[in-house]
Structure 1
Amino acid sequence: MTRPMSRRLLTLALASALSLPVWAQAAFTPFTVSDIRIDGLQRIGAGTVFTYLPVERGDTLDQGKAAEAVRALYKTGFFEDISIDHQGSILVIKVIERPAINKLTLTGNKDLKTEDLIKGLKEIGLAEGETYNPLNLDRVTQELTRQYNNRGKYNVSISPSVEHLDRNRVNLTITIKEGKAAKIRHINLIGNDRYPEEDITKDWESHTSNWMSWYKKDDQYSREKLSGDIEKLNSWYLDRGFVDFSLDSTQVAISGDKKDMFITAGMTEGEAYNFAAISVSGDTILPKPEIETLVSFIRPGNVFSRGLLELATNSVTARLANIGYAFAKVNPVPTIDRDKRTVAIDFQVQPGPRVNVRRIVFKGNSRTADPVLRREMRQFEGSWYSQAAIDRGKVRLDRLGYFETVDVDTQPVPGSDDQVDVTYTVKETTSGSISAGVGYSQLSGINLSLQLSENNFLGTGNRVSMALTKSNYQKRYDFSYMNPYFTDDGLSLGYNLWWREFDYSNYNVAQYSTNSGAFQVFMGLPLSESDSVQVMFGIDSNQILAFEGSTPPPMVDYIKAVGQNTFHSWRTQLSWGRDTRNNYFTPVVGSTQNLSAEIALPGSTVEYFKLQYDVAKYWPLSQALVLKTGLNLGYGDSYGKNYSRNLCFTAPLPPIPPTTDNPNPTQPPAPPPPSNPCLTTSTDYIKTVTATGLPFFENFYAGGIASSGKVRGFTDNTLGPAYVSGFGYRQPLGGSVLVAGSVEAIFPKLFDSPAARVSAFLDFGNVYNGYKNFSASELRASAGIALLWRSPMGPLSISYALPLRKKDGDQIERLQFNFGGQL
């Protein structure tokens, strides 16, 4: 039995040896490589293969070297198959290349953005032009399934397909069927004896379905959201003194159809504790009493709160970070007395080394010059690190309006424990436009324009605007230039030059027109990080074209009282502004205030002044809701001399009454006015006209979406005093007093794009002829919804409003929109 079995084994061994690859047989006979030939290459160059090949001419190739060469080439991922042979002393390597990815297509993904997925796929080698590796495709399928599961989408289907093309290429298509996220049907807390479940889960991101779920999507299960909510549960009790609180279990169950989720959390509350003694120890750097002041809001006897500990810790670290100790640590060490149910806290300060900023680097600013960014910095190179100054620089870059996003990162300098580099990474956005196009609004109709507007001209930060505009109520030619840093101290200098032909009768205003031009110079000076003042000086000329019988008599009389229809002005304006918004385009916190005084100086045709105050504040109520409140006040009047003129008129002769003999008598014509009519017959009369108060062409207007007193739901410019002709035709006159305001609820999360936002608003306002005529009962009000969108073709604003407070004669316009204007 033993001998035949041995013979069989020997036969099998010989057969196996004969079937080995040629390179394996040859490997038993080492040889010196005189040359290397690679067969089968299509896309990959031979030089690339030689880079990875651990064999060179003159090397001796044995079995170990051959196996090592095969492994090295497989590791490149370029080849599906590799074999080694030799012809004499020539090493022959035969390869079959893996195909190249010709096109990569993603379809069906809504929850995950395509650009984010493409970026992630590229990091693992799945990108157009790269070598196709099936293992990478399997990894992608698993990772995408995991990410969608974490978002509560358990019915997701990831279907990759490969289409083979000529020239060893493939098209990859990844088809995603996301399905719907599983809904949270029930949340059950076990062990919460002191607090009701609805109070504990009030601030959770995970909720069962409610009337706001369509917007918040808080009833969709997400593993990340639940993890955050569990942490909120822990913080809830620790902030209320329950030091011994423990979360015993968390269970998440899913229904058989993978559409419903059931969450259960078990806990042990324990007992509530109070603070005992509060102390500070360690190297405080600053005087110890100053550090103790920063944590003094924690008082012995108060209920223990982890949130207060974090606030105190952050206060100390922020204070030290602002004087250079970027890596300071403060450890609140508790001493728990379970008998007395108290916790004593010792804040141990570890300042670390004082840090110097070696370099400030900017990334992503391909168009904007570095000096434009650097002049906004409040942290300087070579100075002590200050977290407040670094954060302030980020806010100032955000408020320029040049960038979509601004991120800041601080990295230690390798080999140094007392130096850091600060990097600001920006993503540039459109800061202006060059356009020739057509706009439309309900107020102005078709608007033809040729406009160049650039807030970051050639990357210098200077603002340049040139425009030619024509609509059914105006022709306008404008040029303006402003250098916000005319001096290194931040003194700005700018110019305005314009000519306008304006027909107010097509602007929902009284029937008259103007031809005006102006040249203005203005300078601005910053007073602080958020405050600035600006002064303007200019000259202008304004020709008023009024028409007897169509222009309202008060306006005609004003021109007659002055004695001319061309008004020349030497004008100056002083204004103060404050801007604490966190972002230029989409603020969610902060405010803006503007107070201005404009004066037509002595020597002008008419001497007057205008005061205006505009304030808006943003109140972040949550990530999904921002409240904006605003108020706009204006007042104007004349000063110095008033114009008064007596106008003489000849009354027409009385008509001839009809008689039986002459039923239709010919009426005598009115006699021509005598050379000095006021001294002739008793049929002459005198009318005194005056020009007082704010000139009518400088009045404020209210109503609509485009006027200074915005009250949506009413036709633009139609609120306030008006002249009504005998035929009932109403011509708005405006007023010297403006009162307008709004309360607006903004929903920043309704759209993913920062270029669009939806809001619900309440507007109110009106204009009055003099402050003595102000009456709150005359204020109009409206409520509605609005969409603002910075479209690629220009800003678009749409609103739909219902008047809440109106009176007879008001002109209502519920749906209003403006395309090509300002947001």
Structure 2
Amino acid sequence: MTRLPHRRLLALALAAGLSAPALALAAEPFTASDIRVDGLQRIAAGTVFTYLPVERGDRIDDAKIADTVRALYRTGFFEDIRLDRQGDILVVTVRERPSINKLTVTGNKDIKTEQLMAGLKDIGLTEGGTFDRLSLDRVTQELQRQYNDRGKYTVSITPTASPLDRNRVDVTLAIEEGKAAKIRHINLVGTEKFDSEEILEQWESRESSWASWYRRDDQYSKEKLSGDLEKLNSWYLDRGYVDFSIDSTQVAISPNKRDMFISTSITEGEEYKISEIRVTGDTVLPQEDVERMVIQKADQVFSRGLLEWSADAITNSLSNIGYAFAKVNPIPTPNRAEQTVAVNMQVVPGPRVQVRRIEFRGNSRTSDEVLRREMRQFENAWYSQAAIDRSKIRLQRLGFFESVEVETPAVPGSADQVDVVYTVKETTSGQFTFGLGYSQSYGMTTSIQLSQNNFLGGGNRVSVDASRSSYLQRYGFSYTNPYFTDDGISLGYNLSWRELDYSDFNTAQYNSTNGSAQVVFGVPITENDTVSVMFGIDSNQITTYQGSTPQTIIDYIDAIGTRTFKSWRAEAGWARDTRNDYFMPTRGTYQRIGLEATLPGSTVEYYKLNYQFSKYWPVHRALVLNTRVDLGYGDSYGKDISRTICWNDVPATDTSYGYSDVVDCAGAYQNSKTVTASGLPFFENFYAGGTNSVRGFEDNTLGPRSEATSYYYEGQPLGGAVKTVGSIEAYFPTLFDSPSARVSAFIDVGNVFSSTNEAKAKELRASAGVALLWRAPVGPISISYAFPLKKEDGDEIERLQFNFGGQF
């Protein structure tokens, strides 16, 4: 057997001109009667033949040998290739590259594993793929660069390839990220018109300070610095300095690669004013209407930001009437001699665009119909950016999705049509709440609640709950169809039955057996406003305990003359919701006012008025403020009810002790007393204190109390007819890199009062603390730790509180 010279692809690429002569000298050309491939393990011979540039019967010379070696190396399948001659048979001997059995990345925190794996796959490094040492080296270098761009210069990346049987390897990338280099000093050279500190306030890159542990603004990043330099440029252009320039930027690093020093040299130039500003092009809309959208006027200081804002206003107006690709090009013409700028706002509307199709992706559980009915952009209608954005907000506010993204790809082959694609990431839209506890007084307690806001993917809300213990039995069912009609009128039903010992809820000692049925209608009147109407019937039987139940409650019941309160109930409410998200809003307002009243013919005639307000203020990407107010007021209407009652004035051990229903009290051992029922019934009182009110105080313990007794030294909480609760809460959305959790700091203020005459600011209670909000798979969880700022003797303090399964 005669061996042909063996040539590597690299040698051929570097010295293509020399390789052919060398091969010609080393071997005589011949005609291949057959071709054989040796050394294959995983790759089929047919696959190799598809890449070979020679066939049986071809004349083999040095050029053919070089082409064959080059073609096989290009496949990336082989580590070594050798061509031999056995008679007139061309023998191709290969050694395959090993396959990657397992690919593991360890130690990465700053870059997520999913992101790393996607990048490795793009390079060709993936499980089941062919292992290439050069690709592994490129990956290592690229990761090193990415970490350096994030300010981590001490990163260490160790690639390891562990051989296995059957020509396989396990590849491991062990990463030690180290700590990001901190910015110790930022120096702006050449600032004369403005203070450097004022300019640097706008930067994301900051010098290291006490607050940097949270804001992480002292960590150097090449991308972040590039953005800050653009902000620096915008700062001056927004203030008329047209000739502003950044001359140089130097970034120095300390020898230990832990400290960064940034220095930027600038030339400010002079301030320019606008000499004239014109609107040209096809404005589509009336010229005067478009000109009114331009904020900048002649003789004002030039501002690129205001010009861009004006251009966006015109573009948005055009995009809302179908011109999806409209552009407005502000063209400035500076006059450096007079230090003025003439501006031409050139409008290019482009074609008017229709929406061909609206698609939804990622909604595996939620039906398309549920998403489609939230759309404000329609198919075969003119494109409207406002309608598309509004549709996105409505989807986010459903509470079914963790995220909603929208794209508007152009229809291939059509210049005037686009598709609108909403990609959603579904989250748990239901809650499962299970409670298990033990008390020395009441023994074992259990409760269970199942609620689903997206029942069977149809968008309907269903809730079933059951609770049972020695002090509580409750069974409830509710159902709401938010689109009972195509116009968005909702219909809901609520059924409940409960037996409750109120004493366990930090309220007065009495028992209640209540059954109720309600039907609720909701009518949307605008995009953000809804009116609701409720009708219901309920029966509430009260059981009191002589010596334990406060005397005011007993007197109220005696004045009514019955312990069973039957009511025909109605409620009307109005709500406005402009929040941008259901669970974790960062902007927008929610407010609701409701009036509930029992109808004439009920055992007791009364009404309750409630107002809720919540506004989210996006102060910074790392800070959102929320202000909340919850006000309530209730009273009876009609005449007060009075009765005269008698009792036998005998020792308490006498079983004949008790009230009688006679008006004329006679006899040596009988006395009389007049009792009156007025105001809001005690079982409808408002309460304050606890996780959903003033945190740091025990649930329901604030406000009026009964008179002290030998059993209750501080009296029992009675609630009140007036409720005033407010809160200021600061959310820190970036503290956790998760859309499902966030930390907040809060100040709560509030109390309840027996009447408006008793409501005094000095009686308000206040607390401050921190809270963790987590949207867990089984429902939202809130944990808070609060310190009372204003309290009085006798207040019941509870610093650590949590709520499992309730609303945020």
Residues 3, 85 of structure 2: 8 Å contact kept = no
Q: 1:443 to 1:43 in 2, by over 3 A?
A: farther
Q: 1:546-695 counterparts in 2 under 5 A? A: 546-652=544-650, 678-681=664-667, 683-695=669-681
How much has 1:69 moved relative to structure 2? 4.8
The one-letter amino acid of 1:377's match is: M
The equivalent position to 1:353 in structure 2, one of 351, 354, 359, is: 351
Q: Calculate the aligned-residue CA RMSD, in Å.
A: 3.0
Structure 1 residue 813 and structure 2 residue 794: aligned? no
* Residue 226 (structure 1) aligns with: 225
| 1:803 alignment partner, one of 775, 781, 788 | 788
Shift of 1:319: 0.7
Encode CA deviations 1:205-247: one digit per residue, 9 max, x unaligned: 1111122111111111111111111111111111111111111
1:91 shift after superposition: 6.6
- Please give the alpha-carbon distance, in whole angstroms, between the structure 1 residues aligned to 2:499 and 2:439: 19
Classify 1:820/1:289 alpha carbon distance in 2 versus 1 (closer, same or farther; 3 Å): closer
Tell me whether 761-770 or 522-531 shows the greater mean CA deviation: 522-531
> In structure 2, what is the Cα distance between the partners aligned to 1:672 and 1:802?
46
Check the 8 A contact 2:4/2:85 in 1, yes or no. no
- Of 735, 757, 765, which residue of structure 2 is paired with 1:750? 735
CA shift digits 1:159-197 (9 cap, x unpaired): 111111222222111111111111111111111111111
The Cα shift of 1:434 comes to 5.0
Q: Which of 718, 728, 743 is equivalent to 2:701?
A: 718
Question: Do 2:190 and 2:265's aligned partners in 1 also have CA atoms closer than 8 Å?
Answer: yes
Q: CA deviation at 1:738?
A: 0.6
Contact 2:203–2:231 under 8 Å retained in 1 = yes
Matched residue SS, 2:375:
coil
> How far is 1:342 from its partner?
1.6
Distance 1:674 1:624 in 2: 67
Assess if the C-alpha contact under 8 Å between 1:442 and 1:816 holds in 2.
Answer: no
How does 1:91-490 map onto structure 2 within 5 Å? 93-295=92-294, 297-433=295-431, 438=436, 448-470=446-468, 473-490=471-488
CA offsets 1:132-154 (integer angstroms, 9 cap, x no match): 22222112111111111011111
CA distance, structure 1, for counterparts of residue 355 and residue 439 of structure 2: 52
Q: Which residue of 2 aligns with 1:701?
A: 687
The range that moved more, 602-611 or 549-558, is 602-611
1:659 is matched with which residue?
Answer: none
On the 8 A contact 1:27/1:61 being kept in 2, the answer is: no
Matches within 5 A, 1:492-571: 492-571=490-569
1:70 CA displacement: 4.4
CA change 1:501–1:676 in 2 (3 A) is: closer
Shift of the 669–369 alpha-carbon distance from structure 1 to 2, 3 Å rule, reads closer
Distance 1:61 1:689, change over 3 A: farther
Deviation, 1:16, is 9.2
CA distance in 1 between counterparts of 2:390 and 2:683 reads 43
Distance change in 2, residues 1:584/1:90 (3 Å):
farther
Identity %: 61
Q: Which runs of 5 or more residues in structure 1 are unaligned? A: 1-14, 655-666
1:348 Cα deviation (Å)?
Answer: 1.0
Q: Tell me the amino acid that sits aligned with residue 488 of structure 1.
A: D
Aligned-pair distance for 1:39?
4.4
Q: Distance in 2 between matches of 1:754 and 1:262?
A: 34
Q: Secondary structure at the match of 1:141?
A: helix
CA distance in 1 between partners of 2:658 and 2:632 (Å): 46
Mean CA deviation greater in 416-425 or 118-127: 118-127
Are the counterparts in 2 of residues 765 and 779 from structure 1 also a CA contact under 8 Å?
yes
SS of match in other structure, 1:376: coil
Separation in 1, partners of 2:185, 2:144: 25
User: 1:653–1:670: 8 Å Cα contact kept in structure 2?
Assistant: no
- Contact 2:644–2:663 (CA<8 Å) still a contact in 1? no
What is residue 761 of structure 2 aligned with on the other side?
776
Mapped to 2, the partners of 1:88 and 1:788 lie a distance apart of 79
Q: Secondary structure at the match of 2:414?
A: coil
TM-superposed deviation, 1:268: 1.0
Shift of 1:791: 3.0
Gap change, CA 1:17 and 1:123, over 3 Å in 2 = closer
The one-character-per-residue Cα deviations of 1:740-795 (angstroms, maximum 9, x if unpaired) are 00011111111111211111111111111122222122111111111112234543
Unpaired runs of 5+ residues, structure 2, are 9-22
> Which of 748, 752, 766 is equivalent to 1:767?
752
CA distance in 2, matches of 1:804, 1:362: 50
TM-score by length of 1: 0.90
Partner deviation per Cα, 1:504-529 (whole Å, 9 max, x = no partner): 11111111121222222212121222
* Paired letter, 1:807: E
Distance 1:462 1:29, change over 3 A: same
Partners of 1:67 and 1:183 in 2: CA distance: 54
After TM superposition, give the deviation of residue 612 of structure 1 in Å.
0.6
* Cα deviations by residue, 1:80-129 (Å, 9 ceiling, x for unpaired): 23445677887765443322222222111111112221222222222222
- How far, CA to CA, are the matches of 2:655 and 2:396 in structure 1? 74
1:578-608 CA distance string (max 9 Å, x none):
1111111211111111111112222222222
Contact preservation (8 Å) 2:645, 2:661: no
Deviation at 1:650, TM superposition (A): 3.1
Counterparts of 2:581 and 2:27, CA distance in 1: 72
- 2:3/2:83 contact within 8 Å kept: no
Local SS of the residue matching 2:147: helix
Structure 1 residues 645 and 249: CA distance shift in structure 2, 3 A: same
Secondary structure at the aligned position of 2:297 is classed as: coil
How far apart, in 1, do the equivalents of 2:628 and 2:300 lie? 39
Query: Offset of 1:384 from its aligned partner?
Result: 0.9
Q: 1:164 to 1:805 in 2, by over 3 A?
A: same
Q: 1:19 to 1:388 in 2, by over 3 A?
A: closer
Which moved further from structure 2: 304-313 or 159-168?
A: 159-168
Given residue 487 of structure 1, which amino acid in structure 2 is its aligned partner?
A: T
Kindly tell me: are residues 166 and 336 of structure 1, through their superposed partners in 2, closer, same or farther at Cα, counting changes over 3 Å? Answer: same
Letter of the 1:115 partner, please give it: E
Matched to 1:577, the amino acid is A
Answer yes or no: is the 8 Å Cα contact 1:678–1:685 preserved in 2: no
Letter in 2 for 1:31: A
Please say if residues 647 and 660 of structure 2, whose CA atoms lie closer than 8 Å, have aligned partners that are also in contact: no
| Distance change in 2, residues 1:589/1:19 (3 Å) | closer
Q: What's 1:29 paired with?
A: 30
Give, in whole Å, the separation in 2 of the partners of 1:765 and 1:82. 82
Confirm or deny: 8 A CA contact 1:441 1:818 kept in the other structure.
no
**Do the aligned partners of residues 526 and 478 (structure 1) sit closer, same or farther apart at CA in structure 2, a change above 3 Å counting?**
same
Describe the SS at the equivalent of 1:368.
coil
Q: Structure 1 residue 46: deviation in Å?
A: 4.8
Tell me the secondary structure at the aligned position of residue 325 of structure 1. coil
How many corresponding residue pairs?
790
Q: Deviations over 1:311-343 (max 9, x none)?
A: 111011111111111111111122222232221
Aligned to 1:3: none
**Secondary structure of residue in 2 paired with 1:411:** coil
